[in-house]
Each structure stands twice: as structure tokens, then as C-alpha cells.
Structure 1
Amino acid sequence: MTPSAPRTPAAGESAEPVAFPLARSCPFSPPEAYAAMRGNGGLTRAAVPGGKEAWLVTGFDDVRTALSHPASSSDARHPAFPALGDGEQAVAAELRPFIRMDPPEHTRVRRMLVGEFTVRRVQAMRPAVEEICREQADHLLSLPAPADLVGEYANRVSTTVICRLLGVPMEDLEFFRRVTSVSGARSSTAAEVGAALSDLFGLIDRLIDEKAQDPGDDLISRLVNGPLARGEITRTSLLSQIGITLNAGHETSRNMIPLAALDLLRHPDQLELLREDPSLWAAAVDELLRHLSVADVITLRVATEDIPLEGATIPAGDGYIALLAAADHDPRAFPEPERLDITRTRRNHVAFGYGAHQCVGQNLGRLEIEVALRVLFEKAPGLRPAVPLEDLPLRSSSAIFGLEEVPVSW
């Protein structure tokens, strides 16, 4: 069923809906049209794949309001859900990952995971993450230059970290790369996504049986012998929640690490500050997250009631997308937002989302990006791109923006 076109809000109407999603012309900046949208009353009507229309929310304050309002629904079963890929809504509606649930169901499932990603538990993982990054940096540097920073470093780091956290055996890096590439691509059909996830769920299903008999010190073991054993979650739902945790945990870091490394190389003054004062790394990661905002279009929502914004209203029943990169480049919130400034004092970006659905794994993401970048620049101080930046292939069809490959020399 295709819902009718959204009703006109108080402000922000455009004559014709904008075709969405929009591609980035530069990998280090949001689409140029976002700036104009922020000046158009805060809401822009958009035509999304599948024949639907939705509202684009662009201002920093409006994005936070739209994501934290009680009428903000993430339920993919809603007819107006503004899916950006052919297979996205069908698969999410069937599998019900917790990121596509609403409270209280979302709250109940999220509570099972949140304890695994506290600051204390994540900091306890630092030595293991350091070891993984050093091993993978050594692997990269053992190859003849130029080598691919994405495939030979970032993908290997992100896959190893999330698999070790979950307790998934590291038998085939390319298996996880293929699964996440297909399941996270906007261009994938429902059948293609379903087939990729079926392979992943087959592996996880076997692990559930193994860890019920022989638990380890990992997330799957704790979920299997805790909530599943107590009947607090079904096996089918557990498969879905583990799958989305693995997928999201892999994709964000896999895309952020090479893009952030290049962003620092484009700003040698900022990289020099980090070399002079390594205590700035935590702040640098937050600024890079804001500057790049790779999860820009993942916040798909439906308004179950009217949601009033600063200069407009999202009407009840309409789908909308809160654009994280547009918010993180709002000059009212971040002066000179296009400038990378690791000493920036305001760090309340929305790169990990906002509200009840703010990324549950953000503490691990920050740690992984920080350690991966620091180790990379320590071991390869002469790191440099081996091709012009404008020639790098963009990963525009993915739910998480990134680069397909980044040839580098050192």
C-alpha cells in the first residue's frame, strides 16, 4: 500500500518533491542541497524509492526534536515508513530488528544489549582492540604499496572487533563483508537481502546451540544463557538482534576509519596537533564523526501524531527522515561547520542519532575508531593516498556512507 502524499506543514513546502536520497559530490561533506533545505523552513518534501513521499528534517534543533518526540515511530511495518531501498522495509518488517521497533518493545530488547556497551565494559576492551589494530596495521604494511586501506585494514579491524565481542569465529572475513555489503545496500532487493541474511542467520543459529552447551565470555553466550534461557526473547528475535548488532557494528567502523584517515590527511595542521598531543584523540574522533556523519540517512521515522518543529509541523501519519549530516553541519549549532577542528568545544553532535534510538554501540565505535587511527598513523607516519581523492569510488548506495576502496602508500 502506498500512502497519500504528505500534507503541507506550516512552512517548508516545495513545488515539487526532491528526489531522495541525494549523492555527495565530496566524500567529506554532506550533499550541497542540505544547506538550502535548512533555510527553507526546516522541512523539505522528498520523493523516496518505491513511490512514497516523506519529509526531510535538516536543522540541528529540529532533528533532535524529531528524533526524541514521543510520536516518533521507527516501526518499519507502518505503510508510510520511508524506506530508501526496495528490500529494506519488507525485511525490517519481517525480522523486527530493535532499531525498527518502538517502546516498550524496543526498550525491552535494547536493555538486553546496553550493558555490553557501557563505558566501563568498552574501556576494558581497549587492550584487545589495540592488539587487533596493531596486527592489522602490520598486515597492511606487509603488502606491496599501494594497498587498499578499506579491505586490508578497516574491514579487517571492524570485522575482528565485532566478531570477538559477539563470539563469532573469524573463519572468513569476506563472508561478513559480502553479507553486510548486500544487506546494507539500498540497491539490494528484498530477495537479495533475505538470502544474505539467511546465510548469516544460519551461522548464528549454529552458534546459539554451541554456546548453550559451552558458553564463553562473549555477547552471544550471555544472551543465550540469559534472556533466551529465561524465555525473555524468542530464538527468532535473538537471531535478528544479533544480526543487526554485527551488521551495524561492522559497517560504521569499516566506513569511518578510512574516511577519517583521509580527512586528517587533508588537514595536516589537525594531524600535527594529534602527534604533538595524543590526549586530543578522543575529541578528534567526535569531531570526525560530526564532520563526516556517515550514518546520515539511517534515521527513518513516521509521525504517529503531529510533531511541531521550529518553523513547521510534521503531520501525523507522514514519514520523515532526520538528516544527521545536515544537522551536524548547521552553522547555528557548529560555527564554520565545514571546518575540521579537533579543538572544537561543542561535541553534542548527532552522528550516532539522538533520543531513544541513539546508537547502543557508540562507546565501542568511538574506541575502535580512535585506536585504529592512532595506531595507523603511528605505524605509517608517511601514509598518503595513492590516487587523487576525486578518483576514489564512493559507496553511495549503502545505508552507511563510505568509500569502496582507498589505495594508499607509506
Structure 2
Amino acid sequence: MTELPVDYFQDPLKYFARMRDKRPVTPVTMPEGNRAWMITRYAEVRAALADPRLAKDWVGKLKPADFTPDPVTGYLSRHLLSLDPPDHTRLRRLVVKAFTARRIAGLRPRIEEITASLLDAMDGRFAGGEESLDLIEAFAFPLPITVICELLGVPAADQDKFQVWSHAVVSSVVTEEEFLAAGTEMFHYFTALLAAKRRSPADDLTSALIAARDSGDSLDERELIALLFLLLVAGHETTTNLIATGTLALLRYPAELARLRGDWSLLPAAVEELLRYSNPLNHTTDRFTTEPVELGGVTIPAGEWVLCVTSSANRDPSRFADPDRLDVGRDATGHLAFGHGIHYCLGAPLARLEGEVAFRALLTRFPSLSLAVPSSSLRWRPSSLIHGLETLPVRLG
């Protein structure tokens, strides 16, 4: 079994590439100490993501019948990424009724307004003499967290709490106590939010989820809390990383950056390429085998945890030519940054919209944008799941 090294977080793609070339389906010891099977080649990752024998509902299918989850585990195990059909099918159908394409498309003017306000503030700091600033703190984090909070009806004053909570629940180095503390605080916060929205419904997604029904069925309290948790964490973590790591990729490829600035019709394709190249997640959330599963000539026994390494699949040369090169005009159709199969990311249209607005506005406003530190000094967050920078110091002029 492969044991991932201590510097794994700083360059996971290096290790994934070795696995993909030699043993694309292999058991590893994760940084947290647990065993999992990593799938790193495109064909096997895509097949695994659509295979019903790789399940999500660990509470219902792995734990003994007398297992009683604590309140935090109880609600975290009821969101869309922790359930299988038929529960997953029912919940996703209800959520789709509230998370409509029309609602997302209607957000563009507000996303553009938030983006302009953040860029104005950055411009003001630059004019005030700041030589550099952290693009994540100033732009990549506040843009998507503001959008998702407004979409859910969460007060803007509470946004910083969610950054702390979210980092705790996706980190690979926090203690179990820290994880449970963050989960518990979010549980109580969302319980109070749901009570407030029931008393005074508003034109927001939380109120729409409370009202969502299908043939007399509706979301129960635990399912609602779990969905709010998922939408808030997934709704900003991945887009924050797309904006930050995508900007870093463009700054590392100045010819591609100039190509994009010279032809904004490339922007939709460029966003897809940045999703492929920078992939906001290292791998998908955990699955487990309900029976022996053969992938790539290797049989994974029943009851084993499996990680589908989408970032590696998106760099597989058998699927994408010259995959380690950024090409803003590439046809990146088929990339797996949003997953595949029944768990395909519900928020993909919102992430794409935010990415298009953010990159065009940022790169237009600051034509001399550059890194303020050597790229080799940048540090990546200690999370097996999340592929995100700790900070991104940039100069605006």
C-alpha cells in the first residue's frame, strides 16, 4: 500500500501522475491515517463515478444497525453527496425545483455588481499605496460567499463565520473535536435560520427549499439543514479556488492570458479549461464499494473507501492532448471538475457564471496584474479534498 508523503498537499498532481502511469487503481494511506483506494486514470474515474456499486450512504450501509449518529453526523450524512437512490433522487428532484436555471441566470447583474464593488475596493487600496494584496482575501473569497449567502438569504455579516467553519470541515489536519465544533455551530446556525425563514419567508433559496414539494413530499428538518450546509460550503469553496488558482494559472502562462484578453469570445472555453487544468478539488467526496468492483484490471474488495481523483483524470494524456499545458482555446468538454453521473454538481451553472464574470472583470480592470511573490513560495491548503491556495499575493500595477 502506498503511503502519501508529508509534502503531498503541496504538489498532489505529481503523485497522482505517478499512480496514473503505473498503478491507476491503488490503495493508499491518506494523511489522516485511513486507507482508501485512489482511482487516477480518466476512463476508470469516469466509470467509477457512474457505477452504482460505489455508494455514498455510509450511515445506512456501512454502520451497524444499532449505530446512533451524533447530531452533527446525523445532519451531515443527509445531504446530496452522502445519499444514494432513492433518497438522493427524491432530494435532488426537490432541490432542482428551487435551484432553477432561470434563478441562476437572473443572478448575473448582481454578480457583476458585487464584482465591481470588490474591484473598486482593491483599486482604492492600490491607490492608497498598498503595493500588493491577497487576491483570495480581497476578491476570490468574498465574491462567491456573498453570492451564495444572498442566494440563501444568509446575512452578509455572518460570511466570515462560514469561512472559518468551512475550512475546518474540509481540512485534513484539524482534530475531530475541531471538526465537530464547526459542524455543531453550523447546525445551530442553520436551525435558527430555518426558523426565521418559516416565520418570515423571503425571495431566497432557503425559503424556496422550505416550500419545495413533490407529490406531497417535502424536505424534513434534517435534510434542509444538510442541504444548506452543502450549498454554502460547496457554493463558495470550489468557486473561490477556481478564481484564485485560475488566476495563478493565467499569470503563469502570460501568452494564454494575452490571448484571452485579446479575444473575450474565448472566455467560456477558457473557464472550462481552467476548471480542467486547475480543478478546485483534488478528488470527489468519498465513496465505498458495496461489492467487489473491478476497475482497470484491479478488483477493489467490498466495503472499501474509494476516491475518484478528478484532478488526475483531467490531466490524463489519453483524454486530453498535452494536458499539463494551459490552452484557453482548448475544447475541454468532458472534463470531470464537476463530477459525472447522478452526483454531477448541481451548482455548475452558477460556478461557470461567477467564473466568467470574475475573470473578465479582474483582467480588464487590472491589465498589469502580476504575482507579488515567486510562485514557488505559494502554499496550498492542507486538505486532501480541496485544491486551494492559502493566499495569493498579487500586484495590481
> Normalising by the residue count of structure 1, what TM-score does the alignment of the two structures yield?
0.87
Distance apart, 1:125 and its partner CA: 1.3
Q: Distance in 1 between matches of 2:85 and 2:55?
A: 9
Q: Which residue of 1 aligns with 2:156?
A: 170
The CA RMSD over aligned residues, in Å, is 2.4
CA deviation vs aligned residue, 1:153-188 (integer Å, no higher than 9, x gap)? 111101101101111110143212111111221222
Q: Which residue of 1 aligns with 2:14?
A: 32
Distance apart, 1:53 and its partner CA: 2.4
Q: Which residue of 2 aligns with 1:13?
A: none
Q: Is the 8 A contact 1:259 1:402 kept in 2?
A: yes
Q: Which residue of 1 aligns with 2:293?
A: 307
Q: Distance in 2 between matches of 1:201 and 1:93?
A: 10
Q: Is the 8 A contact 1:253 1:365 kept in 2?
A: yes
Q: Which residue of 2 aligns with 1:19?
A: 4
Question: How has the CA–CA distance of structure 1 residues 386 and 199 changed in structure 2, closer, same or farther, with 3 Å as cutoff?
Answer: same
Aligned residues: 384
Distance apart, 1:395 and its partner CA: 0.9
Q: Which residue of 2 aligns with 1:69?
A: 51
Q: Is the 8 A contact 1:167 1:219 kept in 2?
A: yes
Q: Is the 8 A contact 1:80 1:319 kept in 2?
A: no
Q: Which residue of 1 aligns with 2:85?
A: 103
Question: How has the CA–CA distance of structure 1 residues 50 and 260 changed in structure 2, closer, same or farther, with 3 Å as cutoff?
Answer: closer
Q: Distance in 2 between matches of 1:52 and 1:149?
A: 34
Identity %: 37
Q: Is the 8 A contact 1:133 1:372 kept in 2?
A: yes
CA deviation vs aligned residue, 1:105-144 (integer Å, no higher than 9, x gap)? 1111122222444444322211111111111111122212
Q: Which residue of 1 aligns with 2:168?
A: 182
Structure 1 residue 388 corresponds to structure 2 residue 365: no
Q: Which residue of 1 aligns with 2:28?
A: 46
Question: How has the CA–CA distance of structure 1 residues 156 and 52 changed in structure 2, closer, same or farther, with 3 Å as cutoff?
Answer: closer
Structure 1 residue 156 corresponds to structure 2 residue 142: yes
CA deviation vs aligned residue, 1:178-204 (integer Å, no higher than 9, x gap)? 111112212223322222233223332
Q: Is the 8 A contact 1:117 1:363 kept in 2?
A: no
Q: What one-letter code is carried by the residue in structure 1 that aligns with 2:354?
A: E
Structure 1 residue 408 corresponds to structure 2 residue 394: yes
Q: Distance in 1 between matches of 2:276 and 2:227?
A: 27
SS of 1:345's equivalent? Answer: coil
Q: Is the 8 A contact 2:98 2:212 kept in 1?
A: no
Q: What one-letter code is carried by the residue in structure 2 that aligns with 1:289?
A: L
5+ unaligned residues in a row in structure 1: which ranges? 1-15, 82-88
Distance apart, 1:332 and its partner CA: 0.3
Q: Is the 8 A contact 2:10 2:380 kept in 1?
A: no
* Within-5 A mapping of 1:182-201: 182-201=168-187
Q: Is the 8 A contact 2:75 2:223 kept in 1?
A: no
Q: Which of 186-195 and 49-58 deviates more? A: 49-58
Q: Distance in 1 between matches of 2:51 and 2:155?
A: 40
Task: Choose the corresponding residue for 2:385, options 399, 403, 409.
Answer: 399
Q: Distance in 2 between matches of 1:343 and 1:79?
A: 44
Question: How has the CA–CA distance of structure 1 residues 21 and 334 changed in structure 2, closer, same or farther, with 3 Å as cutoff?
Answer: farther
Q: Is the 8 A contact 2:8 2:15 kept in 1?
A: no
Q: Which residue of 1 aligns with 2:107?
A: 125
Distance apart, 1:213 and its partner CA: 2.5
Q: What one-letter code is carried by the residue in structure 2 that aligns with 1:191?
A: E
5+ unaligned residues in a row in structure 2: which ranges? 64-69
Q: Which residue of 1 aligns with 2:67?
A: none
Structure 1 residue 340 corresponds to structure 2 residue 322: no
Q: Which of 116-125 and 132-141 deviates more? A: 116-125
Distance apart, 1:21 and its partner CA: 8.8
Q: Distance in 2 between matches of 1:247 and 1:49?
A: 22
Q: Which of 307-316 and 377-386 deviates more? A: 307-316
Q: Which residue of 1 aligns with 2:66?
A: none
> Normalising by the residue count of structure 2, what TM-score does the alignment of the two structures yield?
0.90
Instruction: Could you list the structure 1 runs, at least 4 aligned residues long, displaced by more than 4 angstroms after superposition.
Output: 78-81, 89-94
Distance apart, 1:265 and its partner CA: 1.2
Q: Is the 8 A contact 2:269 2:332 kept in 1?
A: no
Q: What one-letter code is carried by the residue in structure 2 that aligns with 1:272?
A: A
Q: Which residue of 2 aligns with 1:138?
A: 120
Q: Is the 8 A contact 1:24 1:32 kept in 2?
A: no
